[in-house]
Amino acid sequence: MTMVRAGVVPTQRAALYSVLGILATVVMAAAIVGLFGVNRVFTGLLVGAIAGVAVMAALFTRDAILLTEQAIYRRTPWTVSSIDWDRVVAGRFTLDDRARWSLALDLSGGDEQHGELVLLSIPPVLRPVSGAYDLRKREQVNEIRALLRHKRIPVTVLPEIAGALQQHWQIAPPTR
């Protein structure tokens, strides 16, 4: 078993990353215009947009939860912290406060908010896999489920979620 990548970027951090991307766009555009004159506004905007997208992509890519054989690593662009597997009490696949399906781990002790670590948050599955997003989320659910089964961590799945996953994504419900 290798590494499984998961994680949900909180709204506040997503807003920060977006602001940093816009800031990179503005700074690069202003630098190009400042160096080469007003006739290079569109060039500056293009270079700035590329820089802004690159900054946001780097920040969002770095912000993740990595599930490995040894531990769970929570990464942000500036920090990395680890959580030992023996702190994981159970897993849950339930509805979150925004009516999305949330796959979370319940943790014992530590300083995590409410003792949980959200691995996935996806819209309800209403039809078979129809695109790259659905396919990637289906793969993540299968990878996380396989790792949790390997680690012998019990996972509770709401019956309507288990039924939809089985019907539309052909993911069998947990056996225990």
Instruction: Write down the pLDDT at residue 3.
Output: 86
- Using one digit for the tens of pLDDT, what is the confidence trace for 106-154? 998 765 455 889 999 999 999 998 899 999 999 999 999 999 999 999 9
Task: Give 176's pLDDT tier (boundaries 50, 70, 90).
Answer: low
Residues with Cβ within 8 Å of residue 9, at least 6 apart in sequence: 17, 60, 63
Of 54, 45, 65, 69, residue with least CA distance to 20: 54
User: Do β-strands 101-107 and 88-95 pair in parallel, antiparallel, or remain unpaired?
Assistant: antiparallel
What the block records as the tokens of 74 is 């929570």
Q: What is the pLDDT of residues 46-62, one digit of tens each?
A: 999 999 999 999 999 99
Return the pLDDT at 26: 97
Mean pLDDT of 149-168: 91
Q: What is the pLDDT of residues 60-105, one digit of tens each?
A: 999 999 999 999 999 999 999 999 999 999 999 999 888 899 999 9
Domain ranges (residues) in the chain: 6-62, 85-169
Contacts of 18 (CB under 8 A, 6+ apart): 56
Question: What pLDDT is attached to residue 105?
Answer: 93
**The 71-75 sheet, strands edge to edge:** 4-6, 64-67, 71-75, 80-84
Cβ atoms 89, 106 nearer than 8 A: yes
For residue 92, the model assigns a pLDDT of 92
Look-up: residue for tokens 């819209």?
123
pTM listed for this prediction: 0.81
What's the CA gap between 23 and 39, in Å, rounded?
22
pLDDT attached to residue 97? 82
Higher per-residue pLDDT: 175 or 38: 38
- Residue 110 backbone class (left: φ over 0; alpha: ψ -120 to 50; beta: rest): left
Tokens of 87: 């702190």
Q: Tell me: pLDDT of 173 over 80.
A: no
Distance of alpha carbon 7 from alpha carbon 12, whole angstroms: 15
